[in-house]
């Protein structure tokens, strides 16, 4: 097989604008026929070849939650390269290193092996050691030009540092497919640790069942913002969602439905059926969360919110189940006897009877089994919204007291909504330590007394005021999902509150109830109830961006003079920078107009198999909340021309954010060359630009192919003439605008070209002088092996070239003159054997030998004096 022509495949360039351009590689071992087939394929992306990224976001790091301390290193940055490693110096760091690699590998396309030992220049290093900050979850992160180091006392701290590092990379790092971005991180020194030890998110799978896969995805999404607790609401009136050994009726009957849906018995199809987890499913979720340093808190709500339990034992369905063996109406203290399914959003209608032995048999079984499966310290009893018409206050308090002692017997801390504070915590010595989750909406008045009373009893508090943390509330009247009973509340409401001052002291009848302060608060939590939420996309829509506000309140220092960036305005700018990340990883969210979402753009370098024409997708745009009609795109092609780009992609619906957009364009270049192009996208005053390189030095299709022997002169006046193993017995002349490609051939005479598009000689011998003037591209061999060395048995003159000059590994029996070539990249004059002098003058830029010097029989002069 003869050597022939293949489009240039340029080496990757990670940093544009400095240093010499990489040497092009233009030929490979293919036949002319293969060349022709390749040349007809049109534009091809360069795969991992690198281009440019840009963002309208400010240059400083935009991190959520805000770190305790961040110092930017002026002029310092680090670019992740393909040879980088992730170095873990301790077994505690290995798992976190694997997780970091799993994030970085898909988007970068790099191997990023996880290694032990000492880090080298260019590596990311995870170090277990003293970070000089509170050790439980704190970390230090340092970015210099030579690498990245995260230091923490344990794996959890390293994991938190990794979440910050992700936000230092361009948004495209979150993509699950390779992206042509510059993986550059700004130089910073960060010291960071959390304000509260409990930073939670609650997901209600009782009202609407969700499979394990959805919950795992949600775990990944909340872990990215250093949330460390997942509160799972596993049962409610509408469904019981966890298998309990020895009690199959709880799931056979109790898990059939989801809230807000119909039943087959209603004569309609249940559009959203129920479901349940096996205990293996639950353990899978617990372990998955633990691998992200998230503690699971299980909740089985009681004595109210449990019609699904009551239906499993006291309903007509229970009478028919297993011959009525489990039927026992004594547990039913609800307002319906016998009980019936109520799949609406109603509350305060169900209650377990505290006097029923079956109530306590079921309750004990559930608490014992779930506690055994849950390594975390808490068991959440619920305890909210029990009507006194169903259970008098004394009966309710007695229920919570007895249940709390069962929880204590399992070695867990009893946790519940603020109503459980009515029980004798702090006064009954057999009662466990208790944690109240405050969900009230009127903390200044009597609405805050449950929190104050809990503090009096020595209980700890998790702050979840419904009108500031409930993710199931509508953003505004126009959003289709959610309810409004607590608030209609967008991002400002979720961010603008302070846990330690929300519930002040209050005097009632001469008695002062204490304030709830940081001395009592262990953390914050953002619950997401699912009355109107059915799937992952809707969960994400309701949670983001508001969950990030609660994450920052839980992690970052209290707002004040010592932390001037801990403001709503700063948070919105930093939160806006998350939008492109969410779009890159295909995560839904609500692009609220109250956040100044920016534009992020990435464009990949292009290599053309037909050197003249580029077509199709050129850049990817993240533009949260922007319609296609609100955006304009301009493409500057690098040859002095520009055109309007075409924007396409999926636009938003009332429940989904718009997708990533594509910028496309078409252009034909007049000649061969390497062009620096750029895409600019604008929306109002916001503008973003990304540059990319177009390598238009590929080989077009042959219009004439010569094989065998050609006797006499050969003149190429137009098109492309390819010599494939040919012998030309006479001179060859290439006219302006035409091209000559010779592979494994002989020219027994001089070669003259004037204004030729291309003259490429690979493995070819020319017996006379070669005079090549005013062309676009000249190649005599390529030392990379893509084009075999050429031999010219006479002098060679290359002058006035405008595209590319490569004279590499070839033999010139006479003098070699390279002069007045004005080309985008440095002419390559490398590794040649020149029988006469070597002279280079007037070239811009000056020629380079790429580190391989030339052997010259005469003097070296001018720009080639040292080559």
For 276, the token pair is: 């349940």
Using an 8 Å Cβ cutoff, are 782 and 805 in contact? no
Please determine, for residue 600, whether its predicted confidence score (pLDDT) is greater than 90: yes
**Domains defined along the chain, listed by start:** 4-53+598-696 (no CATH), 57-192 (3.30.379.10), 198-556 (3.20.20.80), 704-862 (no CATH)
Burial letters 244-279, b for 16+ CB under 10 A, else e: beebebbbbbbbbbbbbbeeeeeeeebebebbbbee
Alpha-carbon span 416 to 1, nearest angstrom? 78
> Is pLDDT larger for residue 698 or for residue 212?
212
Residue 206 has pLDDT above 80, yes or no: yes
pLDDT of 437 > 60? The answer is: yes
pLDDT tens digits, 15-46: 323 222 333 322 222 233 322 222 222 222 22
Element (H, E) at 406: helix 393-409
pLDDT-based confidence at residue 446 (cuts at 50, 70, 90): confident
| Total residue count of the chain as it appears in this document | 867
Task: Please give the biggest Cα pair distance in the chain.
Answer: 119
pLDDT digits (tens, 9 = 90+) for 340-394: 998 888 899 999 999 999 999 999 999 999 999 999 999 999 999 999 999 999 9
Q: Report whether 803 contacts 785 (CB < 8 A).
A: no
What's the confidence (pLDDT) of residue 23?
30
Q: What is the pLDDT of residues 620-661, one digit of tens each?
A: 999 999 999 999 999 999 999 999 999 999 999 999 999 999
Query: Over pLDDT 70: what percentage of the chain?
Result: 90
What does each C-alpha distance from 393 to 154, 351, 397 come to in angstroms?
A: 46, 13, 6
For the range 212-218, what are the long-range contacts, defined as Cβ-Cβ under 8 Å and sequence gap of 24 or more?
Answer: 212/277, 212/281, 212/284, 212/285, 214/535, 214/536, 214/539, 215/285, 216/285, 216/288, 217/536, 218/536, 218/539, 218/540, 218/543
Q: Inform me whether the pLDDT recorded for 336 exceeds 60.
A: yes
Q: Collect all residues with Cβ–Cβ distance below 8 Å to 617 and sequence separation of at least 6.
A: 662, 663, 664
Q: Tell me the H-state helices in 526-649.
A: 536-543, 546-555, 568-584
CB 186 within 8 A of CB 85: no
Which residue, among 51, 23, 309, 43, has the nearest Cα to 179 in the 3D structure?
Answer: 51
137 has catalytic annotation: no
What mean pLDDT is reported for the chain? 90
Tell me which residue of 744, 743, 803, 811 sits closest to 778, measured CA to CA.
Answer: 803
Name, in order, each residue with C-beta under 8 angstroms of 467's C-beta and a sequence gap of 6 or more.
441, 473, 486, 487, 489, 493
| Cβ neighbours around 344 below 10 Å, total | 12
Q: Strand, coil or helix: what is 616? A: strand
| Beta-bridge mates of residue 3 | none
The sign of the torsion formed by the CA atoms of 587, 588, 589, 590 equals positive
Q: Please state, in angstroms and rounded to a whole number, the distance separating the CA atoms of residues 185 and 558.
A: 28
Full-model pTM: 0.81
What is the token pair recorded at 858? 């005469």
Q: Say yes or no to pLDDT of 10 above 60.
A: no
**DSSP secondary-structure letter at 341?**
-
pLDDT band at 668 (very low <50, low <70, confident <90, very high): confident
pLDDT value at position 715?
Answer: 96
Q: Is residue 13 over pLDDT 80?
A: no
Catalytic residue among 76, 385, 531, 636: 385
């Amino acid at each position: 097989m003869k050597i022939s022509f293949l489009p240039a495949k340029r080496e990757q360039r990670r940093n544009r604008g400095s240093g010499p351009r990489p040497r092009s590689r233009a030929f490979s071992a293919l036949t002319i026929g293969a060349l022709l087939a390749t040349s007809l394929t049109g534009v091809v992306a360069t795969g991992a070849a690198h281009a440019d990224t840009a963002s309208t976001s400010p240059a400083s790091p935009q991190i959520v939650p805000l770190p305790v301390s961040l110092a930017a290193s002026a002029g310092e940055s680090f670019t992740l390269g393909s040879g980088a490693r992730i170095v873990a110096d301790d077994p505690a760091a290995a798992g976190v290193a694997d997780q970091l690699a799993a994030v970085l590998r898909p988007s970068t396309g790099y191997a990023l092996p996880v290694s032990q030992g000492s880090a080298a220049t260019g590596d990311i290093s995870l170090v277990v050691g003293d970070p000089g900050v509170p050790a439980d979850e704190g970390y230090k992160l340092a970015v210099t030009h030579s690498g990245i180091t995260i230091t923490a006392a344990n794996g959890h701290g390293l994991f938190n540092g990794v979440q910050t590092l992700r936000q230092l990379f361009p948004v495209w790092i979150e993509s699950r497919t390779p992206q042509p971005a510059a993986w550059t991180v700004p130089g910073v020194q960060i010291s960071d640790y959390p304000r509260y030890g409990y930073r939670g998110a609650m997901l209600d799978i009782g009202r609407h069942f969700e499979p394990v896969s959805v919950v795992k995805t949600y775990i990944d999404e909340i872990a990215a913002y250093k949330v460390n607790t997942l509160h799972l609401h596993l049962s409610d009136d509408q469904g019981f969602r966890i298998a309990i050994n020895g009690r199959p009726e709880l799931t056979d009957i109790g898990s059939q439905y989801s809230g807000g849906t119909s039943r087959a018995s209603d004569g309609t199809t249940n559009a959203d059926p129920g479901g349940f987890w096996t205990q293996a499913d639950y353990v899978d979720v617990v372990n998955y969360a633990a691998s992200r340093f998230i503690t699971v808190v299980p909740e089985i709500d009681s004595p109210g919110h449990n019609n699904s339990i009551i239906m499993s034992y006291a309903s007509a369905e229970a009478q028919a189940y297993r011959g009525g063996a489990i039927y026992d109406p004594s547990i039913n203290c609800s307002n319906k006897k016998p009980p019936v399914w109520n799949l609406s959003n109603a509350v305060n209608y169900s209650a377990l009877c505290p006097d029923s032995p079956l109530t306590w048999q079921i309750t004990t079984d559930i608490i014992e089994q779930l506690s055994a499966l849950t390594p975390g310290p808490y068991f959440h009893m619920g305890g909210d919204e029990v009507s006194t018409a169903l259970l008098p206050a004394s009966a309710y308090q007695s229920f919570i007291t007895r249940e709390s002692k069962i929880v204590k017997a399992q070695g867990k801390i009893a946790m519940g909504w603020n109503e459980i504070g009515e029980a004798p915590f702090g006064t009954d010595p057999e009662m466990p330590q208790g944690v109240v989750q405050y969900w009230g909406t009127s903390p200044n008045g009597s609405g805050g007394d449950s929190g104050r009373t809990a503090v009096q009893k020595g209980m700890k508090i998790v702050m979840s005021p419904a009108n500031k943390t409930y993710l199931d509330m509508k953003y505004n009247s126009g959003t289709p999902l959610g309810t409004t009973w607590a608030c209609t509340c967008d991002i400002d409401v979720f961010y603008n509150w302070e846990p330690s001052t929300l519930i002040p002291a209050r005097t009632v009848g001469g008695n002062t109830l204490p304030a709830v302060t940081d001395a009592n608060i262990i953390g914050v939590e953002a619950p997401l109830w699912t009355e109107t939420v059915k799937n992952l996309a809707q969960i994400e829509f309701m949670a983001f961006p508001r969950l990030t506000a609660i994450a920052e309140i839980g992690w970052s220092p209290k707002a004040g003079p010592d932390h001037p960036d801990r403001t709503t305005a700063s948070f919105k700018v930093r939160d806006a920078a998350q939008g492109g990340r969410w779009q890159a990883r295909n995560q839904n969210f609500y692009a609220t107009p109250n956040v100044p979402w920016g534009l992020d753009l990435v464009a990949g370098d292009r290599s053309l198999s037909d050197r003249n024409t580029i077509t199709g997708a050129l850049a990817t745009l993240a533009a949260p909340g922007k319609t296609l009609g609100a955006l304009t795109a301009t493409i500057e092609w690098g040859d002095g021309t520009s055109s309007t780009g075409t924007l396409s992609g999926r636009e938003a619906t009332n429940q989904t954010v718009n997708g990533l957009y594509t910028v496309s364009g078409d252009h034909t270049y007049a000649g061969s060359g390497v062009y620096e192009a750029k895409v600019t996208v604008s929306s109002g005053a916001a503008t973003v630009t990304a540059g990319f390189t177009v390598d238009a030095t590929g080989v077009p299709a042959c219009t004439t192919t010569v094989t065998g022997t050609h006797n006499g002169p050969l003149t190429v006046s137009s098109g492309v003439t390819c010599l494939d193993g040919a012998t030309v017995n006479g001179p060859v002349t290439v006219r302006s605008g035409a091209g000559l490609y010779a592979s494994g051939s002989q020219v027994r005479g001089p070669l003259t070209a004037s204004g030729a598009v291309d003259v490429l000689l690979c493995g070819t011998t020319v017996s006379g002088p070669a005079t090549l003037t005013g062309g676009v591209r000249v190649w005599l061999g390529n030392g990379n092996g893509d084009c075999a060395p050429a031999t010219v048995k006479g002098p060679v003159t290359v002058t006035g070239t405008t595209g590319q000059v490569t004279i590499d590994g070839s033999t010139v029996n006479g003098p070699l003159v390279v002069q007045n070539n004005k080309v985008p990249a440095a002419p390559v004059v490398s590794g040649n054997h020149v029988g006469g002098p070597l002279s280079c003058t007037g070239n811009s830029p000056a020629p380079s030998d790429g580190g391989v010097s030339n052997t010259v029989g005469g003097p070296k002069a001018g720009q080639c004096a040292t080559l």
